[in-house]
Amino acid sequence: MKHDRPPPRQLGLNTAPIRLQKLLAEAGLGSRRQIEGWISEGRVRVNGQLAKLGDQATHADRIRIDGREVTLKPKRDSESQIIVYHKPEGEIVTRRDPEERQTVFRRLPRPKQGRWIAVGRLDINTSGLILFTTDGELANRLMHPSREVEREYAVRILGGVTPEALEHLTTGIELEDGPAKFDRVTDQGGSGANHWYHVVLHEGRNREVRRLWEAAGCTVSRLIRIRYGSVELGRRLFPGNWRPLTETERAELMALAGLRVLERPRLRRAASAAKPAVRRPQPDGETPSHAGPKWGRRPR
């Protein structure tokens, strides 16, 4: 591809070309997998020419997505953001929905730069933890099957579960897209017709948890993701609320993804001593559905 700008050396930019999807992911425009989809759909142009998978580019190239030019800034680890969101049932993990259903992005704060990238998805009837980040490389690593990042779910089963069914769930069941199993299944008790289990698996196939239980002859009446990797949902983050990761959570998650963490400047004592305001929850069953503690506010 020909450049219609001065040579990169004159601009003082990095002259080493890298894969286009990696360049855009590092700028926080999406995950690598998502950007590869854009390229395949013909939505990306580099220096006026239609991009294809395998193309390389630098910060000096003029890149357009859906006709809009994007500004590429060198990513700094200290600027990338990571938050935890408690998705309620009824929301979908997409930016635009033709049916105009509620999406998770409407409740998120405005990022300091780039855009929010969802680390994995939850279907409309599943609630719980979703990580969002402005770091496309981090999102890609956490979702990639080779990292084998654990996901943990709380599952409420309607009716009894036989010992044979539990054995099949941990030894393997053949699904339409190949064999699958849970790494662990833990009995959490229950009363009446409902019984709770915690299950752990290390891949994120579409509706895999529900499909495994259904293949074992069980009916899932509720499904909540309570952990992704080293980050736990906790009891204080109510549905529809978000919070930033703590420094410890951030460091552990970056290490899990095999990425280095740059030291961040310490906050002033007054700021670090401040505690988040807590709203008193109103009882509405097993899980509060309104706004709970306000971990963060949308920037003005």
Nearest-CA neighbor of 249 among 235, 261, 266, 237?
A: 261
Q: Is 35 helix (H, G, I), strand (E, B) or coil?
A: helix
% pLDDT > 90, the chain: 52
Q: What pLDDT does residue 73 have?
A: 65
Domain ranges in the chain?
Answer: 8-69, 77-145+230-260, 150-228
Structure tokens at 163: 């010992």
Q: What pLDDT does residue 91 have?
A: 96
- 259: pLDDT strictly greater than 60: yes
CATH 3.30.2310.20 for domain 8-69, yes or no, is no
Which fold does the domain 150-228 belong to in CATH? Answer: Pseudouridine synthase (3.30.2350)
Number of H helices and E strands in the chain, helices first, is: 8, 17
- 9: pLDDT strictly greater than 90: no
The stretch 154-158 carries a mean pLDDT of: 96
Q: Which of 43-57, 84-98, 272-286 has the lowest mean pLDDT?
A: 272-286
Buried b (16+ CB within 10 A) or exposed e, 148-167: ebbbbbbbbbeeebeeebbe
d(CA 72, CA 58): 9
pTM: 0.68
Are 188 and 197 in contact by the 8 Å Cβ rule? The answer is yes
Are 247 and 82 in contact by the 8 Å Cβ rule? The answer is no
- 71: pLDDT strictly greater than 50: yes
* Average pLDDT over the chain, rounded to an integer: 82
The stretch 190-204 carries a mean pLDDT of: 91
Q: What pLDDT does residue 22 have?
A: 83
What's the pLDDT tens digit per position in 227-242? 999 999 999 999 999 9
To which H or E segment does residue 213 belong? helix 208-215
Are 212 and 180 in contact by the 8 Å Cβ rule? The answer is yes
Are 78 and 264 in contact by the 8 Å Cβ rule? The answer is yes
The stretch 256-278 carries a mean pLDDT of: 54
Q: What pLDDT does residue 154 have?
A: 97
Q: What pLDDT does residue 201 have?
A: 96
Matching CATH topology for 8-69 and 150-228?
A: no
pLDDT level of residue 2 (50, 70, 90 thresholds): very low
Active site residue ranges: 123
118 has which bridge partners?
A: 132
Amino acid type, 65 = I
Nearest-CA neighbor of 28 among 73, 87, 94, 69?
A: 73
Structure tokens at 128: 């719980």
Q: Which one of 3.90.650.10, 3.40.30.10, 1.10.30.50, 3.30.70.580 gives the CATH number of domain 77-145+230-260?
A: 3.30.70.580
Q: What pLDDT does residue 61 have?
A: 86
